[in-house]
Every structure is written in C-alpha cells, then in structure tokens.
Structure 1
C-alpha cells in the first residue's frame, strides 16, 4: 500500500495572540490567549483579520476553521483596554466589522469549533461563520446589556443565523444558551462530542465539489439575499463609542473586573 501524501503545515506569524496554520485546503485559526479568556483587544482583532485575509490569498485554500485555547472560546471585547483608550473603541468596531464580514461573506467556507464558553463579541465571531460545530459543554451569552452596552456590531450576524426574534431576546435578556438550546436555535449547526470529525467531513465535501468556486458562489447568492444597510456599520460604531464614554459604563466595568468577572 502506498502511504498517503503528507501535506505540510505552514505557520504564519501574526500581530496578535492568534495562531494561523495552513494545511492544504484548510486554514486553522486559533485564539491563543486563554489567560485573558481570549478577549478581543485591538491586536487580537487585527490578527484575526490578517489571518483571514492571508488564508483567502493562499492558493488552494478553501476553508478557514476557527478554534480557541482554554476553557473560554472568547469573552468578547476587552473592555479594560477599550475604556482605557478613548480612540480604541472606534478602531476595534471598524476592524471587528471587517472580520465578521470576511468570515460571513468572503470566498472561504468558514467554521467555528466551540468547546467552551462564548460571550459578547465572541458570539459574533461564531455567528459569522458558515458552520458551527459545538461541543456538549459549549455555552453562549450576549452580556452587553449587563454592562449598559448594545451588541450592535454582532446583531446582524446573529440575526442572520437564528432569526430576528431569537437574536433580540438573546441581546435583551442576556441569558445563557447551553449547547442543546444553541443547536435548537441554529446558533450551532451540530452539537457533538467529536467536532473535529465534522470538520473532516466538511473538507471532504469541499473536495468532492465539481467546481472549486461553487461554495464561494453559493455564499455570494446568500449575501445578496441578506444585505445589511450601508450606513449600519457607522451606526454600530457610534453606539459603542458613545456607550464606552459613559462614566456609568466605566464604573460597571471596573466593578465587574474587581469581582473577577471580566479579564
């Protein structure tokens, strides 16, 4: 028997705590700051954007799979950093919109492998992916309302995935969504003990398609059916910057950090 060819894994250095390794048709993106609960500061968001764009430019790459180190997949926006620098919220909002849009509308088939807790903007990262494979211990929660914020940047992507009513409820009530409920809502496509098995199934399905660009064309059709208003990103940015300039929000963030509930 002739052994299968070994496809080399190519690591790519990034400007933040994100690991990118490209193996043949699959780019693996991994959040690598578990000590900060994989919070999204400016460097992390930029690294995610760089990783996605690098994968898109790599010949033969057809899928991007996002995962994370540690028990927390992503705790959302790094509020300590955002409230410490008045210019950072607007920049992060713009870059975060670019990342979510790239995951949702770019040519690569994107998937999230979620095996831990996801809150705030992390829910946006998951929602923007084409497919979500969740472990039985995965949980999801929009926590912005508890802080006096509105998850405006996340909302279009969550709405596209689970519908307007369910997304509004999740944002309004800030309830924990366990893996079984996430599966029922459509926030997770598959809940399984073996999410990597479903990643392999995805890659096999892509290899079987007659046209390499078929998935990208399918995404373009979907994007035309659910276009976001042109002025929406600016509206979301203003909401974030105005809220983070509010002293009451600063006080709430500081109190939650002292309790150890925020990184």
Structure 2
C-alpha cells in the first residue's frame, strides 16, 4: 500500500514522520537537546507505529548529521515531564518501543551519523540493520553519572554479545564507525552514508511485507526473549535514576554543565 507523505505528528514535534512508499522515516528532531529521548519522542514514535506499522515494510530511524540520539533527556529528568506526554514517561514505554522495533512486521533500519550514546544505543540494539557513515561515534556514558544502561543491555547484547556491551558500559569511551562495524554494531559503513542508505532501501523494497512478517515472527524464536528481561530492566533503570545522589548529579550537569567528578 502506498501512503501519502505526512508531516510531524504535533506542531512542536520531537520526531519528523515521513512516508515514502513502503518506507516510514522516523527522524529524531530535537536539535537543541542532541535528539535526547524524552516522553514526547517516545510517544510520537509509538503513535507513528500505531498508524503505519501494518502498511509499511521498512522503518528508518535517523537523527541529524551531528547526532543520532544522545540518550535520556536529563533536562526532563530534572524539570519534570510535560503532562501531555506523561503516559509515555519512564523506562517502560521506552523499552516497549524498542521491543516493537525489534519484533514488528517491518525491517527496522537505523542510520547513524555523528554521535549516538546511552539510550540512543537502545535503538541500534532494537534494529534489524544498522548503517553508519564514517563520522559515527558510539558510546555508553551512563556509569559516569552513577547509572547503568539497564534497558539498553538486553537489546545491545543480542547485537554484539555480552563482553563488548560490558566493555562499552565500563569504559564509557566512544568507538568509531570502523570498530563498530568490526564488532557487528554497525552492519555497513560508508563515507557516503546517504548513498549507503538508498542502496539498502532499494534492495529491502524488493521484499514483500508478508515475507518480512513471517521471517521476523520466526526469528523471535531464535533470538533472546526481551519480554523476559522487561521487568528487571525497568526496575534497574528506576533504581539508578531515582537515586537522590544520581539525580543531584544530573541536575548539576543540567544547570551548571559540570560532570559529577568536577
């Protein structure tokens, strides 16, 4: 089914939703916040999937040329959630979004340019295919703030294994696109990332919706059961994000730009 192009879901959007034939583009569009994950971004992604998941065969996630997604929105954590999007706040809706992307009846493609960090890596772990240009840098910085990537781990471990996820978590250091490709975090890397994406979309567009749905249903039986990790992941996330010391460090970073060790 071919759908007409659409614009953002809300006037002050966090995600630009664009339909091109059988492809749904979800473009993170929070430039002033490094495309950080807030309740609105999660809500708009869920809304787009509610509307288009049964009609499209490919979902492409992307950000700006400088930042794919830099993780949780610390400003929202410090200042509170917009009541309009309160139902999508917290780790549960975010985990559920990643699970939908991982198991939905479509091919999920993440196209990474620039920085992707912390919760942004959850989108990559939930993707069927990760493409990157040579500017991409991948990191998990949570431990620097006394946190750990509780919800990210089940998805990232399925993509690159426990030890590499463990290393990224403890080192907190970014890896470049070439290393990400060698580790299986990125499936393909090219200096001309836009052309790389177009080539993949052209080939993926030849797959039928039925074939994709059947394959992903089958694949769920041979990949980790994310549902089994959901409650533990959410509880782990809540524990570290509700810790008063960690919240004070996050608030100080938001207001003063200082890291916990400074």
Indicate whether the TM-score tops 0.5: yes
Q: Say if 2:135 is the partner of 1:140.
A: no
> For residue 74 of structure 1, what is the aligned residue in structure 2?
69
Query: Partners of 1:190 and 1:261 in 2: how far apart?
Result: 34
Q: Say if 2:159 is the partner of 1:161.
A: yes
> For residue 124 of structure 2, what is the aligned residue in structure 1?
126
List aligned pairs for 1:1-263, cutoff 5 A: 9-15=4-10, 16-57=13-54, 59=55, 61-85=56-80, 91-209=89-207, 211-228=208-225, 230-257=227-254, 258-259=256-257
CA deviation vs aligned residue, 1:77-125 (integer Å, no higher than 9, x gap) = 1123124449979932111111101111101101111111011100111
Query: Partners of 1:131 and 1:227 in 2: how far apart?
Result: 17
Query: Partners of 2:227 and 2:114 in 1: how far apart?
Result: 34
RMSD of Structure 2 on Structure 1 (CA): 2.4
Structure 2: runs of 5+ lacking an equivalent: none
> For residue 4 of structure 1, what is the aligned residue in structure 2?
none
CA deviation vs aligned residue, 1:179-201 (integer Å, no higher than 9, x gap) = 11111111111111222323332
Query: Partners of 2:239 and 2:205 in 1: how far apart?
Result: 47
Moved more, 217-226 or 185-194: 217-226
Count how many residue pairs are aligned between Structure 1 and Structure 2: 253
Would the aligned equivalents of 2:74 and 2:251 in 1 still touch at CA under 8 Å? Answer: no
Query: Partners of 2:43 and 2:199 in 1: how far apart?
Result: 30
Would the aligned equivalents of 2:61 and 2:109 in 1 still touch at CA under 8 Å? Answer: yes
1:204–1:121 Cα change, 3 Å: same
Query: Partners of 2:233 and 2:87 in 1: how far apart?
Result: 11
Query: Partners of 1:154 and 1:20 in 2: how far apart?
Result: 24
Would the aligned equivalents of 1:49 and 1:99 in 2 still touch at CA under 8 Å? Answer: yes
Structure 1: runs of 5+ lacking an equivalent: 1-6
Query: Partners of 1:55 and 1:252 in 2: how far apart?
Result: 39
TM-score by length of 2: 0.88
Query: Partners of 1:261 and 1:190 in 2: how far apart?
Result: 34
Query: Partners of 1:224 and 1:206 in 2: how far apart?
Result: 22
Would the aligned equivalents of 1:117 and 1:139 in 2 still touch at CA under 8 Å? Answer: yes
